[in-house]
Amino acid sequence: MSPRRSFEQRMNQLRVTLLTMSELVEREMTIAMDALERKDVELAQEVFGLDEQVNKLRYDNERTALLLISTQQPMARDARFILASLFMNVILERMGDKAKSVAKAIPHILQRPNLTISPELHDMADMGLQMLHDAMRAYADEDVDLALQVAARDDEVDQLYGETFFSVLARLAKTKKPDKVEAIYELMRIARDLERFADYATDLAERVDFLVTGQLAEVNVDEWEEVRASAEQEREARR
């Protein structure tokens, strides 16, 4: 097998493993939220097994990427692909940690089995999961426009988080029972986990932009089009 063919195979392995990680993370959060709604500790345990798989794939991907860098000395777009994949690799592992954090909260919530789960939490989870799915589709297709759409949705999640935070805070103010206080506090912590989950999806979108355009910066939806246009003008000028 030629060196270039071997290189391309390992690059594809990096891509496939990253997409597999994202699917596992989606399953983690979906199961965690289902377990939360059912207040099912046994179901929540499935999240921990999935998270172990995500962690293993993270280190497999890092070894592949480091091997490519050390033996092939990739340049330009190939180097950006490897670096973007490494960044995204860590982000996905952290997203899995957020799903695991939701699962860990369930035993505490069970102290008050009749506690109502705020519907906004499910809305936040659904939005975050769709953002993750679309960010990874943008990665697979190298679609910057789709990545931009993902970043734009983060404000909606932030707004939901604000609404949920104050709603849960109001519930806390109405109770003095320690076990109920702890259970309600866990809902607030879950809301924070879900908000961070969506933030990480935006981080994935930023790495897609870096992969395609070479620009590495925090995504500001209002300014992103200007950055992209400037980069395109620079490329045209060099031709």
pLDDT in tens, 135-151: 999 999 999 999 999 99
Q: Please identify which residue in the block is written with the tokens 């670096």.
A: 83
Tokens standing for residue 239: 């031709």
Q: What is the mean pLDDT of residues 107-134?
A: 92
pLDDT of residue 217: 62
Can you give the pLDDT at residue 91? 97
* Backbone φ/ψ region at 219: left (φ over 0), alpha (ψ -120 to 50), beta: beta
* pLDDT greater at residue 8 or residue 217: 8
Q: Is the pLDDT of residue 221 over 50?
A: no
- 189-199 b/e (C-beta count within 10 Å ≥ 16 → b): ebbebbbbbbb
Q: What percent of the chain has pLDDT over 90?
A: 62
User: Which residues, 6 or more positions from 54, have their beta carbon under 8 angstroms from its beta carbon?
Assistant: 21, 24, 25, 28, 92, 93, 96
